[in-house]
């Protein structure tokens, strides 16, 4: 629409000229600012690429989420650039009142999607948050790389998934194209591996035949507890007591402990996380069980909060699995691990998934790099980055050599066993599982 | 006969629907007891007594909190939603005082009894003072406001207390030292934990002491008089402000004692503990008869038993449904609670 100044009073004509001139200057200045303001770190940068993370970094879950975020952050700052593009790390927190919250995670993903610079995200940490986030990121699409999700139904459609968890891998991907990948070993391995370990005769295993199994009624906890119970029973053991609890309502576990004791349990397997109070019962055991009784769990209990909750009962008869390898056991990771410890020297800066977080960010950067190459050196689209993810072959990560498959899993993930020694979770053993292609 | 049927509605009105609702209530209770008995008989007697003592121990803690709710309601007809957070505050303050008195987990023996009592007394007094301050600041200015105003203020106060504890100790679960002896007694072939008995004893001692105080002391009489008729009490020369402040003080002392007992028994506290525990204690107070002191104690014990039996013999997913179902059923069928009596309208 042309600005028609003819009908206006003539004695303001001068002012109109000034106004029009001022407007032209403003428009030109804006164009100049946009042209120059794009590249933040100055000369030579082809642009900025952001890598986001969505992890629980406040409250009770921070003991597991924050060290993971720091690992991913370290990878991004260490790489600094990819094919001439500047890298920037954009972290998000999905914890509400200290606990991972799926709805808040979805909000974070939506914020990431609207930020055009973000080409991939590290996270989430928890399977129930992934269940909510994958459909949103899948529709966008946005690449997701989780360091720690272990629910098997997130990547593969098993027959029981809909009934047991309320979703299938297919139902989470409306665009039918997979955008979600992870480095952690799925729960199909965690629960059964612990069951086999418990049944195996000592000293290789625990040599127990009767166990009580509890879960926290969450996606992750229930899944891993069911898998454990199934394997334990299938290999000749007896699940003497099977209970579920609501983490928000139950803090007194004396009755559960009395029930397990009454039925002759030699150990307790708790499918849950510290944030859902999986270790509270350990702290209440005195007077019902002696400390020798085995207390087993998945990676959800393999953190410092669990040991705090266990109090004086945090003895060496507590075992947990971790869905990723221990990077400190990998000689080729030594340099980077040492550099990380210099950058983040605190004891709480290293968690079980710190270096998995590092690997996730590094794999995203590697995929983005390959996407840039495939796009002739130009900024790739999010879909192009996603297309590169399953082509990740023999990537030298800190947690092992990583090859991703189209479904989103590692072809040979590693499972780690940890044991409590001197009030800390320490590495006991690890081995590769799977062989999926 | 048709005439009798035609007269039935007026007959119901004469007796009130209380008879019908009493019958319905009794039928529900009988059905629940029968169902429970069926499950109980499937397990052995020793387990039953263990669950019984666990339920009574939990119930004792609820009773201590419920007393505070019922006292405050009786005297100023306010449901003090911040009371559950005073309970949590008691646990937090005692936790902070333990290092100063050399109390830590891992060592055993009777040497802890005196320091623990000292911490207990200091915590109860501190919580009392804080609760009186809360009353002075948040509720007294609204004493003549419509009933909804102090109710909302109480909810706001609850949030403030939770926020303060969040800022003080963070959102993580805090471990409370496990100081109670872990021994078990064998009574007639049944194994009972000494821990459970200690918790029950502590609560009984406090409730009995409190009952003596309410019935025999001058301040207790003043509190009962103010609860019955505030204006008449004032005409009799009772200082209403002082009496109400004393009610809040004593209620907080009981809640703080409940908090310490909870910590010793459950070994685990967090800043938001008061929310759910307070709701359950409030249910207990209503169940027993809001404004009725023995009712609060009875309600607490019964709710503790319901919780323990539901978790052990049935599915723990239903426990909260059951407890709050009891709240709704009480309000619908017998609003005055188990021991409450209809107070004539003035």
Interface residue of A287, A293, A306, A307 to substitute, partner B, most B CBs within 10 Å: A287
Q: Give the tens place of pLDDT for each residue, A145-192.
A: 999 998 889 999 988 889 888 899 999 999 989 999 999 998 888 899
Q: Give the tens place of pLDDT for each residue, B32-56.
A: 788 878 877 777 778 888 999 999 9
Q: Quick one: which of B69, B81, B271 has its CA closest to B168?
A: B271
Q: Is residue B3 part of a domain?
A: no
Please return the burial class of A108, using the count of CB atoms within 10 Å of its CB with bins 0-12, 13-18 and 19+: buried
Q: What total of structural domains would you count in chain B? A: 1
Tokens of B334: 């017998």
Q: What is the mean pLDDT of chain B?
A: 87
Question: From CA B215, how far away is CA B221, in angstroms rounded?
Answer: 6
A251 neighbors B274 (Cβ within 8 angstroms): no
Using pLDDT thresholds of 50, 70 and 90, give the confidence band for residue B342. very low
Q: Is residue B261 part of a domain?
A: yes
Indicate if the pLDDT at residue B15 is higher than 80: no
- pLDDT attached to residue A45: 82
Instruction: State the angle between helix axes of B293-313 and B273-288 in degrees (0 to 180), rounded to the nearest 10.
Output: 120
Q: Is residue B26 part of a domain?
A: no
Q: What is the mean pLDDT of chain A?
A: 88
Structural domains of chain A, with CATH: 48-185+327-411 (3.40.50.2300), 188-322 (3.40.50.2300)
- pLDDT attached to residue B27: 80
A71-89 in b/e form (b: 16+ CB < 10 A) is bbbbbbebbebbbebbbbb
- pLDDT attached to residue B189: 77
- For residue A52, give the H/E element and its range: strand A48-55
Query: In terms of pLDDT, which residue wins out, B91 or A35?
Result: B91
Question: From CA B32, how far away is CA B302, in angstroms rounded?
Answer: 13
CATH of the domain at B156: 1.10.3470
Strand boundaries in chain B, DSSP class E: 174-175, 184-187, 190-193, 268-269
Q: Is residue B344 part of a domain?
A: no
Question: From CA B165, how far away is CA B171, in angstroms rounded?
Answer: 8
Predicted TM-score (pTM) of this structure? 0.78
Q: Is residue B31 part of a domain?
A: no
DSSP string, B17-48: THHHHHHHHHHHHHHHHHHHHHHHTTS-HHHH
- pLDDT attached to residue A75: 97
Q: Quick one: which of A226, A227, A141, A161 has its CA closest to A192?
A: A227
Q: Is residue B338 part of a domain?
A: no
Which residues does residue A89 pair with via DSSP β-bridges, in sequence order? A51
Q: Is residue B310 part of a domain?
A: yes
Indicate if the pLDDT at residue B25 is higher than 80: no
Domain that holds residue B144: 44-333
- pLDDT attached to residue A30: 60
Q: Give the tens place of pLDDT for each residue, B272-312.
A: 899 989 999 999 999 999 888 889 999 999 999 999 999 98
Read off the pLDDT of each residue in A383-406 and give the average, rounded to a whole number.
94
Query: In terms of pLDDT, which residue wins out, A25 or B343?
Result: A25
- pLDDT attached to residue A22: 65
Indicate if the pLDDT at residue A60 is higher than 50: yes
Indicate if the pLDDT at residue B322 is higher than 80: yes
Task: List the strands of the sheet with A318-322, edge to edge.
Answer: A238-244, A210-215, A267-271, A294-297, A318-322, A414-421, A424-432
Q: Is residue B198 part of a domain?
A: yes
Read off the pLDDT of each residue in B70-92 and give the average, rounded to a whole number.
93
How would you classify residue B162: left for phi > 0, otherwise alpha for psi between -120 and 50, otherwise beta? alpha
Cα-Cα-Cα-Cα dihedral sign, residues B195, B196, B199, B200: negative
CB contact under 8 A, A246 and B183: no
Nearest chain B Cα distance for residue A362, angstroms: 31
CB contact under 8 A, A250 and B195: no
- pLDDT attached to residue B32: 79
B194 touches chain A (CB under 8 A): yes
Taking CA–CA distances from B183, the nearest residue in chain A reads: A287
Using pLDDT thresholds of 50, 70 and 90, give the confidence band for residue A33. low
Query: In terms of pLDDT, which residue wins out, A34 or B114?
Result: B114
Nearest chain B Cα distance for residue A204, angstroms: 31
Distances (CA, A) of A97 to A60, A61, A62, B162, B268: 8, 10, 11, 11, 17
Question: Which range scores top for mean pLDDT: A145-149, B73-77, B101-105?
Answer: A145-149
Using pLDDT thresholds of 50, 70 and 90, give the confidence band for residue B112. confident
Question: From CA B242, how far away is CA B262, in angstroms rounded?
Answer: 30
3-class secondary-structure state, position A317? coil
- pLDDT attached to residue A18: 57
């Amino acid at each position: 629409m042309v600005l028609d100044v003819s009908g206006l009073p003539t004695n303001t004509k001068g002012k109109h000229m000034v106004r029009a001139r001022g407007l032209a200057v403003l428009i030109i200045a804006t164009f100049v600012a946009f042209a120059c303001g794009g590249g933040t770190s100055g000369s030579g940068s082809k642009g900025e690429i952001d890598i986001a993370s969505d992890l629980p970094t406040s409250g009770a879950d921070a003991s597991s989420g924050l060290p993971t975020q720091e690992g991913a952050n370290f990878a991004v700052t260490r790489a600094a650039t990819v094919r001439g593009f500047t890298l920037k790390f954009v972290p998000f927190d999905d914890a509400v009142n200290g606990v991972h919250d799926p709805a808040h995670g979805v909000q974070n993903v939506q914020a990431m999607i609207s930020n055009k610079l973000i080409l991939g995200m590290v996270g989430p940490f928890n399977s129930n948050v992934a269940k909510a986030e994958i459909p949103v990121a899948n529709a966008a699409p946005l690449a997701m790389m989780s360091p720690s999700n272990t629910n098997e139904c997130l990547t593969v459609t098993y027959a029981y998934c809909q009934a047991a968890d309320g979703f299938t891998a297919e139902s989470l991907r409306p665009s039918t194209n997979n955008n979600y990948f992870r480095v952690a070993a799925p729960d199909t391995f965690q629960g059964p591996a612990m069951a086999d370990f418990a049944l195996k005769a000592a000293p290789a295993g625990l040599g127990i035949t009767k166990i009580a199994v509890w879960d926290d009624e969450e996606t992750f906890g229930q899944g891993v507890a069911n898998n454990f119970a199934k394997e334990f029973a299938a290999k000749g053991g007896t699940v003497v007591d099977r209970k579920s609890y609501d983490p928000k309502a139950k803090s007194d576990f004396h009755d559960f402990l009395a029930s397990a004791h009454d039925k002759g349990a030699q150990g307790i397997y708790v499918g849950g996380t510290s944030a859902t109070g999986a270790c509270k019962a350990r702290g209440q055991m005195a007077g019902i069980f002696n400390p020798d009784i085995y207390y087993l769990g998945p990676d959800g209990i393999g953190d410092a909060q669990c040991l705090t909750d266990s109090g004086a009962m945090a003895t060496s008869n507590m075992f947990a699995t971790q869905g990723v390898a221990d990077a400190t056991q990998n000689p080729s990771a030594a340099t980077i691990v040492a550099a990380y410890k210099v950058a983040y020297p605190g004891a709480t800066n290293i968690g079980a998934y710190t270096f998995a977080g590092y690997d996730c960010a590094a794999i995203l950067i590697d995929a983005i790099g390959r996407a840039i190459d495939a796009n002739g050196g130009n900024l790739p689209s999010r879909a192009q980055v996603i297309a590169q993810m399953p082509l990740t072959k023999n990537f030298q990560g800190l947690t092992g050599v990583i090859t991703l498959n189209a479904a989103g899993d590692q072809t040979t993930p590693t499972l780690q066993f940890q044991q409590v020694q001197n009030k800390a979770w320490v590495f006991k053993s690890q081995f590769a599982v799977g062989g999926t292609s | 006969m048709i005439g009798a049927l035609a007269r039935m509605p007026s007959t119901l009105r004469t007796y009130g629907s209380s008879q019908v609702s009493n019958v319905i209530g009794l039928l529900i209770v009988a059905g629940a007891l029968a169902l429970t008995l069926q499950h109980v008989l499937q397990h052995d007697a020793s387990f039953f007594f263990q669950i019984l003592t666990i339920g009574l121990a939990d119930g004792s803690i609820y009773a201590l909190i419920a007393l505070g709710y019922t006292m405050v309601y009786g005297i100023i007809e306010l449901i003090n939603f911040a009371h559950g957070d005073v309970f949590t505050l008691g646990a937090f303050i005692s936790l902070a005082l333990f290092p100063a008195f050399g109390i830590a987990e891992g060592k055993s023996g009777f040497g802890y009894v005196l320091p623990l009592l000292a911490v207990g007394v200091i915590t109860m007094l501190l919580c009392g003072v804080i609760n009186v301050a809360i009353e002075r600041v948040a509720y007294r200015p609204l004493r003549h406001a419509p009933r909804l105003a102090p109710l909302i203020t109480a909810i706001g106060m609850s949030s403030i207390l939770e926020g303060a504890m969040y800022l003080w100790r963070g959102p993580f679960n805090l471990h409370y030292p496990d100081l109670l002896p872990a021994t078990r007694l064998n009574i007639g072939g049944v194994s009972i934990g000494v821990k459970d008995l200690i918790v029950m004893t502590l609560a009984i001692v406090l409730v009995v002491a409190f009952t003596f105080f309410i019935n025999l002391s001058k301040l207790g009489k003043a509190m009962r008089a103010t609860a019955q008729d505030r204006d008449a009490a004032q005409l009799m020369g009772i200082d209403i402000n002082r009496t109400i402040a004393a009610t809040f003080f004593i209620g907080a002392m009981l809640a703080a004692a409940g908090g310490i007992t909870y910590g010793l028994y459950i070994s685990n506290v967090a800043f938001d503990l008061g929310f759910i525990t307070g709701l359950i204690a409030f249910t207990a107070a209503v169940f027993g008869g809001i404004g009725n002191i023995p009712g609060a104690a009875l309600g607490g014990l019964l709710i503790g038993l319901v919780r323990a039996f539901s978790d052990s013999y049935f599915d723990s997913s239903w426990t909260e449904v059951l407890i709050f179902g009891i709240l709704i059923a009480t309000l619908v069928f017998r609003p005055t609670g188990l021991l409450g009596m209809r107070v004539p309208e003035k």
